[in-house]
Amino acid sequence: MPSPQSKRISGPPRGGLWLLRTLLSLGAVLLLLAAPALAQKEPEPAPAPSAGPPAPYDPDLQRLAEILGALQYLRTVCKANEGQKWRDQMQALIDAEAPDGERRRRIVANYNRGYRGFQQTYRTCTPAADLAIRRYLDEGAKIAREITARYAN
What pLDDT is stored for residue 98 in this prediction?
74
pLDDT of residue 99: 74
| pLDDT score, position 95 | 85
Cα gap 96→45, rounded to integer Å = 27
For the stretch 9-47, pLDDT in tens is 544 344 443 454 555 455 545 544 444 444 444 445 444
Q: Is the pLDDT of residue 6 over 70?
A: no
Mean pLDDT, residues 73-80: 91
Are 117 and 70 in contact by the 8 Å Cβ rule? The answer is: yes
Instruction: Note the pLDDT tens digit of each residue in 90-116.
Output: 888 888 887 788 888 999 999 999 999
